[in-house]
Amino acid sequence: MGIDPNYRQNRQVVGEHEGHKIYGPIGPPGKLGIHGTIVGVDFDLCIADGSCINACPVNVFQWFDTPSHPASEKKADPINEKSCIFCMACVNVCPVAAIDVKPP
């Protein structure tokens, strides 16, 4: 199943992290929500294989520690989402379809 492509409309903004919005629900450590608006990463699906970080030509992502999360203890955080060039490389390589990219 993958990230909900309509999360921006279907979920509420519950906070902010490193300059991007967090869409809930959240309930750490097991429920971390979706981080980002232009480049959204579903932290509950992300397994931290690093393919998006390696594929991104403009360094949108940075590792973020998420201790005790059942899928992985770190996530690819879209801290530079405003730098996205919409090449979709991250979306295409994510093995669990945890990333959605939409222009602002």
pLDDT tens figures, 9-26: 999 999 999 999 999 999
Please indicate if the annotation marks 56 as binding a ligand.
yes
Please indicate if the annotation marks 52 as binding a ligand.
yes
Please indicate if the annotation marks 17 as binding a ligand.
yes
Q: Which pTM value belongs to this model?
A: 0.96
pLDDT tens figures, 44-82: 999 999 999 999 999 999 999 999 999 999 999 999 999
DSSP lists the bridge partners of residue 35 as 22, 41
Please indicate if the annotation marks 100 as binding a ligand.
no
Please indicate if the annotation marks 65 as binding a ligand.
no
For residue 30, is pLDDT > 90?
A: yes
Cα–Cα distance measured from residue 17 to residue 87, given in angstroms and rounded to the nearest whole number: 24
Q: Distances from the Cα of 13 to the Cαs of 8, 49, 76, 80, in angstroms?
A: 8, 26, 19, 18
Please indicate if the annotation marks 87 as binding a ligand.
yes
Please indicate if the annotation marks 42 as binding a ligand.
no
Please indicate if the annotation marks 77 as binding a ligand.
yes
Please indicate if the annotation marks 69 as binding a ligand.
no
Which domains, ranges and CATH numbers included, belong to the chain? Answer: 7-101 (3.30.70.20)
